[in-house]
Amino acid sequence: MKSILLVDDEYKLLKILQVSLKKRQYNVYTAANGQEARKKIKELEIDIVFLDLKLPDSNGIELLQEFTTIYPKKVYIMMTAYGNVENAVAAMKGGAFDYIIKPVKLDQISIMIEKAFEWLRVKEENTLLKEELKKSSMIDDLFGASSVMKKISVLVERVATTEANILLQGESGTGKSMIARAIHNLSERKQAPYIPVNCASIPEQLLESELFGHVRGAFTGAQTNRKGKFEAANGGTIFLDEIGEISPSFQAKLLQVTQDKSFMPVGSDEVKRVDVRIIAATNCNLKLMVQKGEFREDLYYRLNIVDMYIPPLRERRDDIPLLIEKFLERFRIKNGKNYEIMPEAVNFIKNYDWPGNVRELENAVERAVILCRDEQLFIDDFPEEIRYPQNKNKEMDIYHDEITLAEKLEFIEKKLILKALDEATGQPAAAAKKLGISRQNLLYKMNKYFQKEDTTTP
């Protein structure tokens, strides 16, 4: 039921309003002074507060200012027998929704209550809409502009609200841990713990204790009871990264907790139960490991209720400019500088294969930020291997008979352009001068050669 608090020192008025409003299906509470009002607004679920301007121990406007600071989501309506413009203006400035003059008419106050509840409803809808827009913005920023990542973002939004276990597969550095956290943050469990565990970084003999905990005396050095990661994640999400690295013997122990969310701490006979969502990730091909007998089939299907393959960065080059901008914005905020990357550098960066994926790109941008002059990032600020096309190590035999003259000339021209750009620290004007051509001609050739290679990449 909708709840109202009436704060006034007139006992008869409070009783009349309380009885009348209760008949209209409202929960109605009363307070005769400021102290009592503070107690009730703190302890009870109140939607609307009617405040008298003159109270025995308080000034209504001062009380209004106090309440709007502590409880900003409630609606406040002032009541007074002193109906003048100054009081009305002061009340509205203090955060009042409206202002009513005594003697109060029941029809008048009922209309005001209806307006207040309608305003609360609209405000709540706007808050929910803002949350959805915030989520959408976060999803767009997180996943990028490529069609494949947009499909993944849609899938993330769909599965986040479910309780299904999720298996993320893809090369190292593709952003699996980032996606796992996004799923948690978009779920109903977002207020509960999110516990990441890198299974590959924990020795096998310690992994069971790390995940399930142990009791005192369970092994040498176990001097106290210790809670494991599953128990710490109770009510929330546990992220098991590098799940393909766990041994077959521990796979059997992990199966139990994926089946019924129960486990026994090391050295204990007590079965513990938890409410945990499991998100696992691996850069291995688990299905192939199952076929080879290296990974339990039953555990694979328990973890793989919903599977997501995160493609490497070389398969979604359209995301690179967006990711660069995201990383630069982080450094702009951190360092208080307006970093910008030169378009020519972006072309080179998109042409690189990024074996380390998003993680390698982030590190490269950080390096460039550290080395750049002023606030502009040139290709010379990035690691040497990124300054050249992906086939820089594959030397062409220009004397081979099967290679056409056009191909030989293109190969030589590309090498000369790259050399000039390298010597000119990535600045086209200086490179064009070294080559004896115009800057416009150099930019045309750069787009012709290096953009062409990029657009043929899936």
Q: Each residue of 252-280: pLDDT tens digit? A: 889 989 988 999 898 888 899 999 999 99
Average pLDDT, the chain: 84
What are the structural domains, with CATH classification, of the chain? 3-123 (3.40.50.2300), 144-311 (3.40.50.300), 317-455 (1.10.8.60)
Tell me the pLDDT tens digit for each residue of 310-358: 999 999 888 898 889 889 988 999 999 989 998 888 888 988 889 899 9
* Residue whose token pair is 């405040």: 51
Exposure of 443 by Cβ count < 10 A (0-12 exposed, 13-18 middle, 19+ buried)?
middle
Please give the structure tokens belonging to residue 77: 């309506």
The mean pLDDT value for 47-51 works out to 93
The mean pLDDT value for 213-234 works out to 87
Asked whether the beta carbons of 97 and 116 are under 8 A apart, the reply is yes
**341 DSSP β-pair partners:** 377
Q: pTM of the prediction?
A: 0.56
Asked whether the beta carbons of 95 and 76 are under 8 A apart, the reply is yes
CA distance 435 to 420: 7
CA distance 348 to 428: 13
Strand order of the sheet with strand 277-282?
194-198, 237-241, 277-282, 166-169, 306-309
For residue 295, name the pLDDT band (cuts at 50, 70, 90): very high
